[in-house]
Structure formats: structure tokens, C-alpha cells
Amino acid sequence: MTTQTVPSAVSQTPAKTPPLRLFFTILHLAALGVLGGGVIGILAATFGTGLALLFVLGIGLLFLVGFVYALFGLGWFEIVRIRGLYGLDVPDLQPRRRQRSGFGGWLRSLGRQSIDGRMWRAVASFVIACIFGALVLRLFWALVFAAITIFAPLGTAETVSIPLAFGVGQIGVEWAVLVGILGVLAAVAGIIGLALLHRTISRALVVPNREAELTEQVRTTSAQREGAVRAADVERTRIERDLHDGVQPRLVSVGMTLGLAHQKIDDDPAQAKDLIAEAHTSTKAAITELRQLARGIHASVLDDRGLDAALSALASRSHIPVQLDVRIDGRCSRDAEAAVYFSIAESLTNAAKHSRASECRVVVRLREGGVLWARVEDNGMGGAQVQPGGGLDGISNRVLAAGGTFRLDSPQGGPTSLEVSVPCAS
């Protein structure tokens, strides 16, 4: 299961467009006017071919899948272009990740990607920019022709041809200068107007709507709160189960053994001594179980020495060999490190109990943008699923409560891989 991170706030650009930025906007439009038609034509051809071949051995599906990925790439490019051109703090377009493992999970994620509103708005911005670019090119040639018309009186012709919307018209040479100047002004005004209109439309399409952004923040916050509540409930149930099934019976046994020793201490001191030794052994075992239970609630080494040291200690206690690869600089927030630590701990526990794995590999990185990322992979038999109240459900809830994402891939036959990404400042 994955969650979408909340987009960062969008910075506001000045109300007036600086001349240099206006010049770059015109260059962008001109370039898109030249290249955009070809890009749109390729996309249209891919989509048409996919529909035409849809029932021919499923070949059309390959074209349609490529069409969706091409749309995503185009949308990503448009957002990056607008962000760089106007200096906006707009997050990148993120692909929809799989919520389930296997082919069905990938197909569902592809379906969600194909109806992603943000992707389609970015594509619409690109198409509009291409149309504006074609108009800018035509206005540029009109500007050149109008500039040449201004100098028509220097020639010997008595009339001058000018392009009109319905054909070519003729004017007297005495009107050439006036018509040429008006043409230059009209062309320049049209180019600048298209550039300003492009700025307004592209910002409206690419920049997240404030109301939608606030709605998404509320939705994400609610999901995080629900995840935190579920994680606390699962953790409480686990603690109750471990106390009831482990420590409590052992302590009851210690009490009964000490009671028998008390009864026999006068009549049979040797047996009473053996019973006291048995109770002492059971007490030490109960203390060990309590320590393990406390470590499961929170690892003190995590606060004292950081995630790297905590994971090293965790790997050394694992029942199966663990290859640990941790490369992080500095520390993240306590919640972020705890979420990643317990995700890895639970994954290693599941691998040891259920997967029949002979080895595990744990990779932890601090990625660009301040995201703490971890991947746990084992070579077991696979088939792991998120069950309500289970260990994987606990991982999902912990990561969700920390504002991160969770992805499980465990096909039948293995291997099983689990990835978590948590904002470092969560």
C-alpha cells in the first residue's frame, strides 16, 4: 500500500513578468511550435495504433501501455519546464506505485496513472503551449514581412503585396510605411500577448489548486492519524499477547516453584534448594523476555547511537544471516528512524518465522529530498500478504503514521522485497 506525499507549498512569483523571463517564454513557445507538432503526432499515432491492434493478439495493449508512459513522461517534462521557466516551487509528477504485488497490482497502478488528473493537466498545458508556439512562429514571419514592407518605398514598385487572412492583398506604395509599422506593432503585441497568456494558463494548469492542496493535506493528515491509531492498537495487542503467552506464565511458574520450595525448606532442604535454583533460572529467562519486549516497544540504542548502530545490533540477533548496507549521513527525526527500524525488525522476524529464507539483505539510504529509504529482501518462498492485525499491517500503519510510503512485492516462489520511504523530518 502506498500513500501520496503532500505537495509542498507553491511560492508566488511576482505579478509582473521580467523582460528576460518573457524573452525565454517566447523562445520556449517557438521551440514547441517547431517540435510540438511532431511529439503530439507520435502520441496520436501510438494511441490510434493501440486501438486498432487491441484485438490482434493483444499487441495493441503494448502500444497503449507505451502511450500511458509517454503521457507521464510528457507531463513530467512540462512540469519541469514550467517550474524552471517561471521559478515555481512545484513538486515533480510522481508515478502511481503498486499497492499490490504481481501483475494485477501493476495493472491497477497503470490504470490509476492513466486517469491521473495532474498528469492530464500538464499534458494539456503542453498541447496549449504547442498551439501558442505555432501562432508565435506565424506572427514572427508576419513581423519580418511587416518590417520589410516599411522599406518598400525605396523600390520602384507602385504597389506592395501584403498577406491577409483570406489571401494576398495589394496596397499602394505610399501606404507601405504605415501598414508596415502597424504590422510590426501588431505582430509584437500578439507575440507578447501569447507569452503572457501562456504564463497565466500554464500556471493555472500546472500549479496545484490551493483548495485541492488543502483537501489533499486534510486527507493525508486523516490517513496518518488513522495509521497511528491502528499502529498503536496493533502494538498494544502484540504487547498483551507477549505478556499473556510468555512472561506471565513464566512468572506464575516462578511463584509456584518458590511456594513449593517454601513448603519443603524444613523437611527436604536439598529439594527446596533445587526448586529455588529452578525459580532463579526461570526468573532470568523472564527478565530476558521483558528486555526483548521493551526493545520491541522502543530500541534505546536507536536514540543513543542512531539507526546504523541499531540495525547492526538487530542484524547480529537475527536467526538468519543478514547483509546490512547502511549509508546515511547524520540523523533523521526520531519518528522517521523508529518507523524504518521497526519496519526492518518486523520484516526480519517474518522472514525467520514464515519465509524459510536462508539470507536477507537490508539496504538503507538517505535519498535526495530528505527521504529515508529502506529495502529488505529475502530469498524465501514468497507469498507474503498484508493481513489485518499482522506484522505487515503493523509496518504499513507505522510508515503511514510517519507520512511515508510502503510497498510489498512477494510473488509465489519468492523473493520477497519490502520498501519503505519516510520523510526524514517526519
Evaluate whether 372 touches 423 at the Cβ level (below 8 Å).
Answer: yes
Sheet of 360-367, strands arranged across: 322-327, 360-367, 371-378, 416-423, 405-409
DSSP state for residue 57 in the 8-state scheme: T
pLDDT attached to residue 356: 80
Question: Residue 335, Cβ neighbours under 10 Å: how many?
Answer: 18
CATH architecture of residue range(s) 300-423: 2-Layer Sandwich (3.30)
Check: CATH 1.10.860 for 231-297?
Answer: no
Q: How far is 91 from 219, CA to CA, in rounded Å? A: 18
User: Mean pLDDT per segment of 10 residues, for the chain of length 426 residues?
Assistant: 37 54 89 91 89 78 88 92 86 74 73 86 93 92 82 62 54 70 88 92 81 58 60 61 66 78 78 79 71 58 75 81 84 82 83 81 84 87 74 78 81 83 78
pLDDT of residue 136: 92
12 vs 74, 231, 410, CA distance in Å? 24, 38, 44
| The residue to which cell 528512524 is assigned | 337
Closest by alpha carbon to 420, among 374, 367, 370, 387?
Answer: 374
Give the model's pLDDT for residue 292: 60
> Can you count the helices (H) and strands (E) in the chain?
12, 7
Is residue 422 packed enough to be buried (19+ CB in 10 Å), middle (13-18) or exposed (0-12)? buried
> What pLDDT shows up at residue 2?
35
Domain ranges of the chain: 13-208, 231-297, 300-423
Q: Report whether 401 contacts 342 (CB < 8 A).
A: no
Q: Which helix (H) or strand (E) holds 166?
A: none
> For residues 71 and 44, is the Cβ–Cβ distance under 8 A?
no
Q: How far apart are CA 411 and CA 16, in angstroms?
A: 55
Q: What is the pTM of this model?
A: 0.55
Are the C-beta atoms of residues 342 and 393 closer than 8 Å to each other? Answer: no
Question: Distance (Å, rounded) from C-alpha 111 to C-alpha 96?
Answer: 9
Say if CB 7 and CB 91 are below 8 A apart: yes
- Alpha carbon distances (Å) from 239 to 232, 287, 394: 10, 15, 13
